[in-house]
Amino acid sequence: MADNTQKMSFQAGEAKGQAQEKASTLMDRAGNAAQSAKESVQEAGQQVMSTAQGAVEGLKNATGMNK
């Protein structure tokens, strides 16, 4: 009986360890996805700012305000 209880306890601990490892892997993947999304948004924001600055310069040139 004691051997059976020890075996079950070992298996429960092993299952817990595997679940923790899977959770850790999922958290790492989620963190990587969030970082990638953040970088994409920042890049898009920089592109929008650059386009807007170009438009302002074009408008200044067209109206003679850049002289």
- Per-residue pLDDT of 28-54, as tens digits, reads 999 999 999 999 999 999 999 999 999
**Average pLDDT for the chain:** 92
DSSP letter assigned to residue 64: T
Number of domains in the chain: 1
Q: Quick check: is 5 in a domain?
A: no
Q: Quick check: is 47 in a domain?
A: yes
Q: Quick check: is 21 in a domain?
A: yes
Q: pTM for the whole thing?
A: 0.61
Q: Quick check: is 9 in a domain?
A: no
Structural domain for 39, as ranges: 15-66
Q: Quick check: is 8 in a domain?
A: no
> How far, in Å, CA of 21 to CA of 28, rounded?
11
Q: Quick check: is 4 in a domain?
A: no
Could you please report the per-residue DSSP string of 11-39? Answer: HHHHHHHHHHHHHHHHHHHHHHHHHHHHH
